[in-house]
Amino acid sequence: MTKPLWAPWRMEYIRAAHKSSGTGKRNCLFCRLLRAKDDAKNLILIRGKLGFVVMNRFPYNNGHLMVAPNRHVRVFEKLKPEEGRELLDFVQLSLSVLGRDMKPDGFNVGMNLGRVAGAGVVGHLHIHIVPRWLGDVNYMPVLADTKVVSEHLGKTYARLRRRFERS
């Protein structure tokens, strides 16, 4: 007999998916986060002049971060040089903070540009940073369409926010 594994956060993701999938600024997930004032509620770790770092609310692994420009831009080649520099500075800072705090065995860092490439937020480019540990892949995503995240987002946010503030 199959036993259910409850993942109530998935319903929030399913309901929000259509809101963040468009290319316009009005419905853009990242633009909405930037307009909001409550960084803790929205999991924003640090804001810069041209970009910001935010935790992924539906992470692949603990510590899954995203680095995005403040400006709503879809095409990587359209980034201004100073935007690209700040984004890479934030990627470097994020790798340093996550490395010290979570001690992963490695990282996946990359972008999904365009819907066919897997972009969930098509109109606002962003860089994913996913900490990886030896043995962090198991059968759950394949058999149960469920990812086990071992620490509450709020607890991870509080700890990482302190580390970003000190960096």
| pLDDT tens, residue by residue, 17-73 | 544 445 577 789 999 999 998 999 999 999 999 999 999 998 888 999 999 999 999
Predicted TM-score (pTM) of this structure: 0.80
User: For the domain that residue 112 is a member of, what is the CATH number?
Assistant: 3.30.428.10
Least confident of 5-19, 123-137, 152-166: 5-19
- Report the candidate in 21, 14, 10 with the shortest Cα–Cα distance to residue 147: 10
Pairwise CA distance, residues 79 & 118, whole Å: 20
- Inter-residue contact 43 to 55 (CB < 8 Å): yes
According to the model, what pLDDT value does residue 81 have? 97
Q: What are phi and psi of 10, to 5 degrees?
A: -65, -35
CA 122 to chain CA mean position, Å: 14
Q: Of all residues in the chain, what percent carry a pLDDT higher than 70?
A: 77
* Domain-located, residue 42: yes
The count of domains in the chain is 1
Look at 84 and 19; give whichever has higher pLDDT. 84
Pairwise CA distance, residues 56 & 71, whole Å: 19
According to the model, what pLDDT value does residue 111 have? 93
Reported as a pLDDT band with limits 50, 70 and 90, residue 6 is: low
Pairwise CA distance, residues 46 & 166, whole Å: 11
Q: Of all residues in the chain, what percent carry a pLDDT higher than 90?
A: 60
Mean pLDDT of the chain: 84
User: What is the domain range of residue 119?
Assistant: 22-166
* Domain-located, residue 4: no
pLDDT at 104 over 70: yes
User: Residues with catalytic annotation?
Assistant: 126
* Domain-located, residue 11: no
Average pLDDT of span 124-139: 84
